[in-house]
Amino acid sequence: MGIGFGGFGSTSKNPKTGKHEYGIQIGENKFTGTGDGIAQAKLNAEQKAYQFLIQEEIKRQFQNLDYSNPASTLHELFHKKVIMEVRYEFNEYHDENGNPIWNCKAILEGYEIFEADNASKKQVKQDASFKLLKFIAEPKIEQIEKWEIPTFYHGMARVCHDEGKI
């Protein structure tokens, strides 16, 4: 990505708070962590920097989406671990003239179910996928900093909260 990564200093203790401080700079962005010891302060700064890098990658993924084949795009986002796997449910019914119509539900855990109807089974999957893709991508670009990014400690995941700040 061409981003510089390095500390911009640590202090023994802040006289006002009694806490150690440590800073990391990525490009123009600075992340400061505090803790009872330098190691904890460094870890807190690294968590903030990690969140920033993950959020920047998610933004990049959503800004370069290919809407020409939405089902394939959703599948690619799953393989890149940006979203969970999308599940599809198909049902066939007939219109008043007896013509077959397909109904497809695109299901992404934690989101709504997006449905479409079409005479073509292939097209109905694309239509439902398109609705889901538009729903998850467009509002998220502006709201990325509110996402909760998991961090890992000794194999155990926890969610970092930083009150919407990066």
Mean pLDDT of 81-98: 92
88 & 139 share domain: yes
% of the chain surpassing 70 pLDDT: 75
Judged by DSSP in three states, 31 sits in strand
For 64, the token pair is 């370069």
Instruction: For residue range 4-46, list pLDDT tens digits in order.
Output: 445 565 555 777 888 888 888 888 888 888 898 888 988 988 8
Q: Which one of 34, 63, 92 terminates a domain?
A: 63
Q: How far is CA 142 from the centre of its chain?
A: 12
Residue 15 CB neighbour total at 10 angstroms = 7
For 84, the token pair is 């969970």
What is the reported pLDDT for 157?
40
55 & 109 share domain: no
Residue in this structure with the two tokens 């397909």, named with its chain if needed: 102
List Cβ neighbours of 83 (8 Å cut-off, separation of 6 or more): 74, 77, 108, 136
In a domain, 84, yes or no: yes
52 & 74 share domain: no
List Cβ neighbours of 121 (8 Å cut-off, separation of 6 or more): 90, 102, 104
Distance separating alpha carbons of residues 78 and 31, to the nearest angstrom: 30
Between residues 147 and 131, the one the model is more confident about: 131
Domain hosting residue 18, numbered range: 5-63
In a domain, 105, yes or no: yes
Between residues 87 and 136, the one the model is more confident about: 87
Query: Residue 56 — pLDDT band, cuts 50, 70, 90?
Result: confident
Answer yes or no: are the C-beta atoms of 11 and 24 closer than 8 Å.
no
94 & 77 share domain: yes
List Cβ neighbours of 135 (8 Å cut-off, separation of 6 or more): 111, 112, 114
Please report, for the domain that includes residue 122, its CATH number: 3.30.160.20
How many domains are contained in the chain?
A: 2
Whose CA is closest to 114, among 99, 98, 125?
Answer: 125
Distance separating alpha carbons of residues 123 and 1, to the nearest angstrom: 37
In a domain, 165, yes or no: no
In a domain, 25, yes or no: yes
Judged by DSSP in three states, 137 sits in helix
Instruction: For residue range 96-108, list pLDDT tens digits in order.
Output: 999 999 999 999 8
Q: Which one of 45, 63, 81 terminates a domain?
A: 63
104 & 137 share domain: yes
88 & 50 share domain: no
Mean pLDDT of 69-89: 90
Distance separating alpha carbons of residues 134 and 62, to the nearest angstrom: 10
